[in-house]
A and B are shown apart, each in its own frame.
Chain A
Amino acid sequence: MPYFTLQLTAQGPMMVAFVGVSEARRAALLSVGQAVPQPIQIRALVDTGATGTCVDPTVLQTLGLTPTGSVQVNTPSTGPNPHSADLYDVSIAIPGALQTHSPLIMENIPVLCADLLAAQGFHALVGRDILSLCLLCYDGLRGTFTLAY
């Protein structure tokens, strides 16, 4: 089982990820002769408090995405009543620690567009949808976290 261990940062369990158009959208772009945007390298925070993965709008805008889903969302900013929010299909790749380790790749995954992430120093929250595919160990004593997949 591939895994990597990283130091916890002041913000928590942070890692590098690559966000691109989904494989399904990539095929559609190619079929109509449009260019496929390159995946974007981002900093992503593991967040067990997020049901689903969230990505900053600047990243989704750069990829030229349009929504393909909708969901009700409850956050501290929405107050007691959930708000409707758009979902965007993307691909996400989380590289392994070594080049010999295969990356964790999700080719078609819906993510929520969430503002105010970049202001907090990162561009995505890795939510429990992705964590459901992984084993996460948070070692507070050593100041590290491990993600196996």
Chain B
Amino acid sequence: MALEKELETYTEKLPELKAHEGKFVLIHGDDVVEVFTSYEDAIKQGYARFKLEPFLVKRISSIEQVQFISRFVDPCSLGPAT
């Protein structure tokens, strides 16, 4: 699974991150880099700092939000970049 380490870090740090509910956290490996008000600022900072290395931008939510798609589609992941 992609971003496995970053997602583990998010889960571990969620009790502290809850103070920033609704904002966007930038995580690289096991480092919580910074919290941003907007997705756009977080993704820009992620690429500016880590270039093409893996990093995670995630909206902080004490109760994990679920996206709904009523059409029949299959959520998927891309294979490794070639």
- Give the interface size bracket for B toward A: 35 or more
- Total A-B pairs, Cβ < 8 A: 154
Knowing A29-B52, A85-B77 touch, does A68 contact B43 (C-beta < 8 A)?
Answer: yes
**Contacting residues, chain B, for A68 (C-beta < 8 A):** 3, 43, 46, 55-57
Q: Which residue of A lies closest to B55 (CB)?
A: A68
Contacts of A72 in B (CB 8 A): 64-67
Please give the distance in Å from B14's CB to the nearest CB on chain A: 13
A76 to chain B, nearest CB (A): 5
Q: Closest CB-CB distance, A28 to chain B, in whole Å?
A: 4
Given contacts A50-B71, A51-B67, A77-B74, 5 further A-B contacts (CB under 8 A): A22-B43, A24-B48, A28-B47, A49-B68, A67-B3
Instruction: Report which A residues bind B (CB closer than 8 A).
Output: 22-25, 27-29, 31-32, 34, 47, 49-52, 54, 57, 60-61, 64-78, 82-86, 88-89, 107-110, 112-117, 120, 125, 127
